[in-house]
A and B are shown apart, each in its own frame.
Chain A
Amino acid sequence: MKEHIIVRIVSKFFAPFIQLYALYVIAHGDLGPGGGFQGGVILGASMILYVIAFGLDEGRKRLSQKVSDVFMSTGALIYAGIGIFCILAGGAYLEYAELPLGSHHLASHLGMYGIEIGVGITVAFVMITIFFETAQNK
């Protein structure tokens, strides 16, 4: 898409705004509509848009396979890890209220927040990986 300068400029310009919106959706997850999955998809879409405009090689330069593999696992590990912390803190699996973070209410809020972040990371990088895998003709 080298000749489509408008597409490239616009997609480059939009990427940070899309990402910011994605972070908003993820952060909003425990309070209203939105959440880790939706936000993660938007976050992944920003990268996918970039790759569509600039090509696979340029995209891989920005985000290598290795890095996205690591993030894919990390996100889900954050989720599972918070669950385990709840057990260690004396509750059931994913019983956020038991987390030692001040009041039960605040602990519930932060626990759920952490979960949304984990889900968001995994979903975003899984989206990107799926896109790369289907786009390259091997």
Chain B
Amino acid sequence: MKFIQELPVLIIVIPLIFALIIPLVGRLNRLIPWIISSTITFFCFLISISLLMTVLDTGKISYWLGGWEPPWGIEYAIDYLNAFVLVVVSFVAFIVSLYSRRSVELEINEDKRSVFYCVYMLFITGLMGIVITGDIFNIYVFLEISSLSGYALIAMGRKREALVASYNYLILGTIAATFILIGIGYIYMATGTLNIADLQERLPALFHSKMVLVALGFFTVGLSLKLALFPLHTWLPGAYAYAPSVVSCIMAATATKVGVYAMLRIIFGVFRIEFDIHFIPIANILIVISSMAIIVGAALAITQTNLKRMLAYSSVGQIGYIVLGAVLADQEAMTGSVIHILNHALMKGALFMVVGCIVYKTGIEDISGLRGMGKKMPFTMAAFTIAGLSMMGVPLTVGFVSKWYIAIGALNAEMWYLIPVIITGSLLSAVYIWRIIANIYFPDELPEHELQYTDGGAEITNHKSQYSEAPWSMLGPTMALAALCIYFGISATAPLYIAEKAAVMLLQQ
């Protein structure tokens, strides 16, 4: 029983400890780092499920680090929103870790592999830490842990451009972290506390203070940079495109989601919604920006020729949906937004894993190189199709559920003019996804000249219709995520139940 109470801290400490053990024992056997990282992320997933169950049963969990009572000590506070995001992060971390073995063997040098898994685990620790903590300065600390390990992971890419992309992200990420730290400093100056629950009580009395206004400004810009909200998304395409495939999977599926979580927590959890609406029109600004993100992200995705880059721009658009749903400040839209954290993690994770499979098997990253791939890698492409359909928001897939809720929320909030934005975003994503699906399955129907402008084409015609599927260790996790895209599209009751509770909690605070 004792350990049940300690689970909130164990979910952070166990991966942290094993991250440090990996480089020590990694020299013994080349499989050990992978085994440790998969087992431990699986344990974290189990712990997060158990935490979610506890929250559903008994309400908010509060864990005092070192036995120091909040607001003096650091508190790990878990409610519906936390627990939900925690399950998403740890689940994706587990699936990606399972998937990673072969891909890492191909893309990371032998001597760097144990370091890779060490940094991977630190990255996961940082993300889970941001989610679980109830202390705003602790959010910053974990943000730095995850960001620094994120820079290292991206820099491990095979191409030299990976270093530039990582450096780019390093500069912008540091600016973002500094802005967030300045924001924290201002509200600490105003209130004298760092505990989120305590801040929530103390801040309303200070809503007229300029200092609090400035703090919110810094938070909004810093977090927007961190979660790659248009037009502050410029670091993201390069980072996703040049990182090793496994890193693209984990970052696309979890890192930006955790950024969104941090934004929800700070805008709705620390400040209150009435502040955002009545004192400065931050919600209105974010509505405009996120609508632009939806359209521009999808439009830019259409213009890309590199598969990873296209998916990265599509992420920019999808983040727009999540932020839009959140700032409408309507319960239905917020539900859609929270559930899209899960849904987008599933579909973007699956899509990037498919890209990883393609890269592993053929080395192709170019869209035109995918010609006729449907015969060559049928299972991988089936997973791509399912996840792609989710991305478009086709009914019976997860993408539909969240977009539906966000659209309903827009109507409830009497902002009908956002409906065309949501639909346009979906149509544009249909364009870029369908372009690939057509290329995969119906290569002959496309005019020849569209397909010949890259060097990938020659390679593909040589062994065009030969069956050569990715190994099962990669295919299995990919298919699992794709299957979940359908499962939660048809039966979304469980995640919706939690997302609704989280939405009610966020809006009523």
A contacts, CB < 8 Å to B: 69-70, 73-74, 76-77, 80-81, 83-84, 86-87, 90-98
Contacts and interface: CB of A to CB of B under 8 A. Distances in A.
15 contacts: A73-B20, A73-B21, A74-B24, A77-B17, A83-B13, A87-B3, A87-B10, A91-B67, A92-B9, A92-B64, A93-B9, A93-B66, A94-B66, A95-B66, A95-B67
Interface string B1-30: 011001001100100110011011000000
A92 B17 contact: no
Given A70-B24, A73-B23, A73-B24, A80 B17 contact: yes
Contacts of B13: 80, 83-84, 93
A92 B24 contact: no
Interface in B457-494: none
Interface string B26-70: 000000000000000000000000000000000000011111000
Given A69-B23, A74-B24, 20 more contacts: A73-B24, A76-B16, A77-B17, A80-B16, A80-B20, A83-B9, A84-B13, A86-B66, A87-B3, A87-B6, A87-B10, A92-B63, A92-B65, A92-B66, A93-B6, A93-B13, A93-B65, A94-B66, A95-B66, A97-B67
A83 B14 CA distance: 11
B299 to A, nearest CB: 41
A90 B67 contact: no
B20 A92 contact: no
B15 to A, nearest CB: 10
Given A83-B13, A90-B2, A92-B6, A77 B67 contact: no
A92 B13 CA distance: 12
Contacts of B23: 69, 73
The number of chain B residues touching the other chain, given as a range, is: 10 to 19
A120 B97 CA distance: 32
Contact of B17 (A69, A70, A84, A86): A84
A69 B23 CA distance: 8
A97 B66 CA distance: 9
User: Could you tell me the dominant secondary structure of chain A's interface residues?
Assistant: helix
Nearest to A97: B67
A66 to B, nearest CB: 9
Nearest to A92: B67
A70 B26 CA distance: 11
B375 to A, nearest CB: 44
A73 B3 CA distance: 25
Contacts of B16: 76, 80
Contacts of A81: 17
The 4 closest A-B pairs by CB, nearest first: A95-B67, A93-B9, A94-B66, A73-B20
Contact of A76 (B2, B20, B63, B64): B20
Contacts of B20: 73, 76-77, 80
A90 B10 CA distance: 14
A77 B23 CA distance: 12
A84 B20 CA distance: 15
A125 to B, nearest CB: 12
Nearest to A84: B13
B73 to A, nearest CB: 9
A93 B13 CA distance: 9
A84 B2 CA distance: 13
Nearest to B25: A73
A111 to B, nearest CB: 9
Contacts of A96: 66
Contacts of A98: 67
Nearest to A66: B27
A41 B63 CA distance: 32
A120 B420 CA distance: 58
Contacts of A83: 9, 13
Contacts of A93: 6, 9, 13, 65-66
B438 to A, nearest CB: 46
B120 to A, nearest CB: 15
A69 B64 CA distance: 32
B129 to A, nearest CB: 13
Nearest to B6: A87
Contacts of B10: 87
Nearest to A95: B67
Contacts of B63: 92
Nearest to B9: A93
Nearest to B67: A95
A69 to B, nearest CB: 6
A74 B20 CA distance: 8
A69 B20 CA distance: 10
A94 B76 CA distance: 14
Contacts of A92: 6, 9, 63-67
